[in-house]
Structure 1
Amino acid sequence: MLYLVEMIVQIPHTLDPALVAKIKQKEKEYSQKLQREGKWRHIWRVVGEYANVSVFDVASNDELHALLSALPLFPYMQISVKPLANHPSSIVQE
């Protein structure tokens, strides 16, 4: 199943910068692992924001929830999820 996932990151300014750096490094490693596995199909930065728009390809709502809640930045994120379906006018069918 394909999902459009929008993530807005809101790290408190009071958080220790060294801790923030560690969290960001873990986030990068985890997200790249999911990309290599084909579960995190696309990721784009939203210009001018600490946010991204992504496409995930996973088996179920539960799998997506597990992957998202395991993100190291999850406690600092506002996340929106939209399930996707094939469009009849698309020349590419997933």
Structure 2
Amino acid sequence: MLFHVRMNVSLPASMPADDAAKLKADEKALAQRLQEQGKWRHLWRIAGQYANVSIFDVDSVDELHALLTSLPLFPYMQIEVMPLCRHPSSIRSDDR
């Protein structure tokens, strides 16, 4: 199942810089691992914002929920999820 996910991150201004750097490093490592596994299919930064638009390819809504809540930055995110399906006018037969 494919999902379009927008993540807006808002770290507290009072968070110590070392704590923020650790969270970001942990987030990056997990995001890259999930990309290598094919679960986090695409990841794009939104220019000028601490936000991204991503495409996830998971087996269920429950798997997506578990994955998103496992992200180190999850407590500091506002997340919007949209399920996707193939458009009948698409000239592509797959999601690549």
Quickly name the TM-score band, shorter chain normalised. Answer: over 0.9
CA distance in 1, matches of 2:41, 2:93: 15
Which residue is 2:90 aligned to? 90
CA distance in 1, matches of 2:56, 2:93: 16
The Cα offsets for residues 1-38 of structure 1, whole Å up to 9 and x where unpaired, read as 00000000000010011010000000000000000000
Q: Report the count of equivalent residues.
A: 94
Which residue is 1:15 aligned to? 15
Q: CA deviation at 1:93?
A: 2.6
User: When the two structures are superposed, what TM-score results if normalisation uses the length of structure 1?
Assistant: 0.98
User: When the two structures are superposed, what TM-score results if normalisation uses the length of structure 2?
Assistant: 0.96
The Cα offsets for residues 41-81 of structure 1, whole Å up to 9 and x where unpaired, read as 00000011000000000000000000000000000000000
Residue 18 of structure 1 aligns to which amino acid in structure 2?
Answer: D
Matched, 1:47 2:42: no
Residue 90 of structure 1 aligns to which amino acid in structure 2?
Answer: S
The Cα offsets for residues 71-94 of structure 1, whole Å up to 9 and x where unpaired, read as 000000000000000001111133
Give the SS at the match of 1:78: strand
Q: Which runs of 5+ in 1 are unaligned?
A: none
Calculate the aligned-residue CA RMSD, in Å.
0.6
CA distance in 1, matches of 2:47, 2:25: 21
CA distance in 2, matches of 1:66, 1:17: 27
CA distance in 1, matches of 2:54, 2:21: 22
TM superposition outliers: structure 1 runs of 4+ over 3 Å:
none
Q: Which runs of 5+ in 2 are unaligned?
A: none
